[in-house]
Each structure stands twice: as C-alpha cells, then as structure tokens.
Structure 1
Amino acid sequence: MLSRRYCLYTCAIIAIAISYVVVDSKACDPPPYVGRSYWHAKPAKLVERFAGPIPYVIIHHSYQPAACYTGPQCIEAMQQMQTMHQDVRSWNDIGYSFAVGGDGRIYQGRGFNVIGAHAPRYNDKSVGICLIGDWVSELPPKSMLAATKTLIEYGVRNGIIASNYTLIGHRQVRSTECPGDRLFEEIQTWPHFSPMIDIIDQQNSVS
C-alpha cells in the first residue's frame, strides 16, 4: 500500500503540472481578433516573410478612414484601407500588420512576421499596429488602447515579439503626423517606448 507521504507527494506533482499547463495555455491564447476572412480581405498580391522575434513595434493611426465603433463599421474601414493600399498605392496588401477598432477588437492585416508597407526601412523588422481613426486632438477610447497593449503582450509572451522590443510612433521614422499628437503622447508612457528619431528623405520610399 502506498504511504500517505507518497500520495501527498504525487498529488503535489500533479497539481504543479496542471498549474503549469493552465499558465502555458493562457500564454498561448491570442487576444480577441477578427481574421482576414471575416472582414472579407482580398488576397494579397504577394506575401514575403521575415524570421525571428520582431524587434520593433510601430504605432500608427489611419487618419482616414475615421474611427469605427461597431463591427460593420470597422470591417468597412479595413476594406477601404486595403483597397486604397492595393489599388491606389499599388502595394501588395493592406500596409499594416494589424489594426485596432473602436469596438475594442484587433483586425488582422498582414499579420506577424510578414513584411509590411507601413514604415520605410522598418517593414522587415517590425509589427505595424494601426489604431483606426484620427488621433491628432483626441485620445483613442480605452478599449482601443487596451487591445493594442494586449496584442503586444501576446506577441512577447509567445516569442513573436522580442522581449526587449522598441516601441515607437510612425513619425519617428518618417516625416508625418502619424500616429497623431494625442496618441503619440500616450504611447510615450508605455513600456519600451524609445525617443529615437530615424528619418531620412523618403519621397520615393514604399509606405
């Protein structure tokens, strides 16, 4: 017959194992997001990938389309951006890796580790997150900010984004107002923000 001490030891080991699995499962769970098929994305003309943990997170605003606050509005905004980027600017796809709507949901653009068209010279080493709307004079809703942080945290927990990543706004690598004054003020308070400036003549660059 097994001793009481052995039974207690075995139960403790099982409890630790279960606890580990639960924690690991949470780490792997993606934040709530809307996949490309759900917002009826057109196929990308070309998909080019890059490897390794992503060293940069770059924050954008769309300016246009305007902020969306319902699922249908945000789906329409995603479609408008993709059409503009593919048909007018002749890019391979919507420029951003992800977009965040005023409904608090994350919308998949190109996704992680796919070369984007959102920040010259950084497209092959960053995740570009666009908060849909004009955030020059207004701050995005708390739900948008929270969803953006959740997406970044998910990427870090799962080794997709480097643990020592650098967070910047689009204006720090291109001459632009993006991501808007109010949003830019906000992200300066977030972890990993860097005041780096790396702007060159980008008149003919992609993005």
Structure 2
Amino acid sequence: MKQILIAILVSCLVSVIQTSDDCPNIISRAGWDARVPEIVQYVAFPLRMVIIHHTVTAECSTMVGCRSMVKSIQTYHMDNLNFGDIGYNFLIGGNGKVYEGLGWHKQGAHTYGYNTKSVGIAFIGDFRKKLPTDAAIQAAKKLMACGVKLGELTSDYELYGAKQLSATESPGAQMYNRMMNWDHFTE
C-alpha cells in the first residue's frame, strides 16, 4: 500500500503543467488519471467570462484525496449526466492545488447557455455555509490572473457566480458573498 501511495504522489508531482512563474502549478489530467474524453469541443479565446461553481461534494485537502474526488466528479459527469467529459475547466482543492478539468480552449458543460463563452472554475466542496480555504481562494485568483497573462481571458473579463446565470445555489452562499468583493465581479 505504501509503495502504491508513493507511486501516485510521484505521478502527480511529475504531471504538473508549468505555464509561467506567475501562474499556479496546474495538476494535469494525467496527474489525476483522467479518462479519455468522449467529446472535445473547442472555444475561441480569449474568453470574456469566468463562472465560479462549487461541486457540492466532500472537500479534499490532500493530493491523493483531491485526485480521487476530481476523478469521481468526472465519472459522475460522464456516466450519470452524459457529458462527454468532466464539465469544469478547472477545479480547486482545499490544498490550494488547481486541477485541470477540460483546461483552457475547451467548451465546458457547467452553465447552460454560457459554456461557449466562459471558463468554469469549481471549488471542490460545499460552500453554502462555509468558505473554501484561503489557499484555494488564492489559487483561484492566481489562475484568473494567469488566464489574462496567457491571453486565455480578456483583461476586462467578467466574473460571475453560477447562480447569477442559472437556477442553482452554486458557488454557495458563503463563497458568493466573498467573491462579490473580488476584482472583475459583475452584478
């Protein structure tokens, strides 16, 4: 068992996408052992919208736990919701790590009617009554700044909570109240 955990950790550490010194390290799809997507749809970039979600699952705070949770979310999205892949572009664990869902340039399945013009970022956990960790919040802010630097997001992008655009509680009341004070938040 110990050797298996060490192998998983080494695999995760090796499978980090290096984008820029100013960008967070992003755990690649290989790093969490993603399934091959059934469908891949691309979007024109830079995108002008970022939509924040929560997964309404258990939280995770370790590489092994978050890797397992992201894999579970992908399985649910593909097998139960009939999505061609995981629905989010990126997911953020309580450990402050960013996990590549679909990644940049690909159309998500996170907010009906907005998937072709937005990046969907999901905090792993349920944030109706509590906030994500400070590490997770800082990772999200760094990811968005990185998106601008890489030309994936426009410099004047608009930030929304999913509940502003569809009938959902996402990203949770506590998270939504916090993000109202972030740069780019749009009423």
Q: TM-score, normalized by length of structure 1?
A: 0.79
**2: CA distance, partners of 1:188 / 1:40:** 34
Match of 1:189 among 157, 181, 186: 181
SS at match of 1:178: coil
Alignment of 1:91-110 (within 5 A): 91-110=83-102
1:52, CA displacement in angstroms? Answer: 2.2
Aligned length: 169
What is the deviation of 1:48? Answer: 0.7
Tell me the residue number matched to 2:31.
38
Paired residues for 1:84-95 under 5 Å:
84-95=76-87
- Answer yes or no: is 1:59 the counterpart of 2:52: yes
| CA displacement at 1:46 relative to structure 2 | 1.0
Say whether 1:151 aligns with 2:138: no
Q: TM-score, normalised by structure 2?
A: 0.88
Please state whether the residue corresponding to 2:30 is helix, strand or coil.
coil
CA–CA separation in structure 1 for the residues paired with 2:59 and 2:24: 21
Distance 1:173 1:52 in 2: 21
Deviation at 1:38, TM superposition (A): 1.0
- Please, which runs of 5 or more residues in structure 1 have no aligned partner? 1-26, 196-207
Structure 2 unaligned blocks of 5 or more: 1-18
Q: Output one character per residue of 1:129-171: Cα deviation in whole Å (capped at 9) or x when no partner.
A: 0000000010111000000000000000121101010000000
SS of structure 2 residue aligned to 1:124: helix
State the AA in 2 paired with 1:44. P
Cα deviation for residue 28 of structure 1 reads: 3.6
Q: Return the match for 1:112 from 85, 104, 125.
A: 104
| Higher Rg of the two aligned structures | 1
**Aligned partner (choices 152, 167, 171) of residue 175 of structure 1:** 167
Secondary structure, counterpart of 2:31 in structure 1 = coil
What do you get for the CA RMSD once the two structures are aligned?
1.3
Report sequence identity in percent: 39
> Per the alignment, in what secondary structure is the counterpart of residue 33 of structure 2?
coil
2: CA distance, partners of 1:100 / 1:117: 17
How far residue 98 of structure 1 moved from its aligned partner, in angstroms, is 0.2
